[in-house]
Amino acid sequence: MRKLEDDEIIALFKKKDPRAIEETKKKYEKMLIKAAENVLHCLEDAEECVNDTYMKLWESIPRVGAEKIALAAYALRINRNISINRLEYERARKRGGDQSDLSIDELEEVLSDPAGGFENRVLTESYVMNFLSTLSRLEQKVFIGRFWYFENEEAIAEKLDIKLSRVKSTVRRCRVKFIEKLKEDNLDVRDFKGHE
């Protein structure tokens, strides 16, 4: 049985047709679980966050006025926000630190709006996509792996079959470029650790 196109799934959401969630699961569940698991390092918690993502899609898509929603990016953004909120809650309970904490901390100040909660602090995916278009293919892969999927640098090096030192330098270079782009676009950039 064929997977529906995104616009067909969105139409189902807008009609409040329960098949919308089933079709989203078929098409994007593996991606969403992987992204949540990279943040939370627990499959059970990741699955709960993905289920919450489906409910949030169910509630929000019918209210979205835009004709075109990039369903994968929209679902992933919601999923990341839910996963990060869950991580922040867990982190508050037991003050630990891991790779996902680090990657969040690395960009949190730059991707944030001091007036809003974390869900409102992430810049729109269209801005990030525009930034990605200025990067080389390798930089794009590293940036997405590190700051979108919260993969650690070792995993990125292994996946891309390159040296860890190259991944680390690419991460640093991408962070600097991202900050420069924000400044160039006259966006508020607060003090950012690790950037001179």
pLDDT single digits (tens) 68-78: 678 888 898 89
pLDDT value of residue 72: 86
Q: Which of 95, 123, 149 is the last residue of a domain?
A: 95
> Distance of CA 169 to CAs 24, 108, 137, 138, 192, Å?
36, 19, 15, 12, 17
How many Å is the maximal CA-CA distance in the chain? 54
Q: In sequence order, which ranges of 41-163 are alpha helices (DSSP H)?
A: 43-60, 71-93, 99-108, 118-121, 125-132, 137-147, 153-160
**Exposed (0-12), middle (13-18) or buried (19+): which is 57, by Cβ within 10 Å?**
buried
Residue 110 has pLDDT above 70, yes or no: no
Q: Which two tokens stand for residue 135?
A: 């990067």
Prediction pTM value = 0.59
Shared domain for 87 and 52, answered yes or no, is: yes
pLDDT given at position 93: 62
Instruction: Judge if 54 and 118 occupy the same domain.
Output: no
Structural domain contains residue 12 = yes
Residue 105 covered by a domain: yes
Q: Which of 23-37, 64-78, 97-111, 156-170 has the lowest mean pLDDT?
A: 97-111
SS3 content of the chain, % helix, strand, coil (to 5): 70, 0, 30
The reply to whether 196 falls in a domain is no
Residue 150: inside a domain: yes
Task: Identify the domain containing residue 31 by its residue range.
Answer: 1-95
Q: Which of 9-18, 90-99, 100-109, 121-130 shows the lowest per-residue confidence on average (mean pLDDT)?
A: 100-109
Q: Do 75 and 127 fall within a single domain? A: no
Higher pLDDT pick, 73 / 187: 73
Task: Please report, for the domain that includes residue 138, its CATH number.
Answer: 1.10.10
The pLDDT value recorded for residue 188 is 57
Which is more confidently placed, 107 or 62? Answer: 62
Same domain, 129 and 40: no
152 — pLDDT class (breaks 50, 70, 90): confident
Nearest 10 degrees: Cα torsion 7, 8, 13, 16:
150
Give pLDDT, residue 48. 94
Please tell me whether residues 7 and 90 are part of one structural domain: yes
Q: How many domains does the chain contain in total?
A: 2
In the chain the first and final C-alpha atoms are separated, in Å, by 54
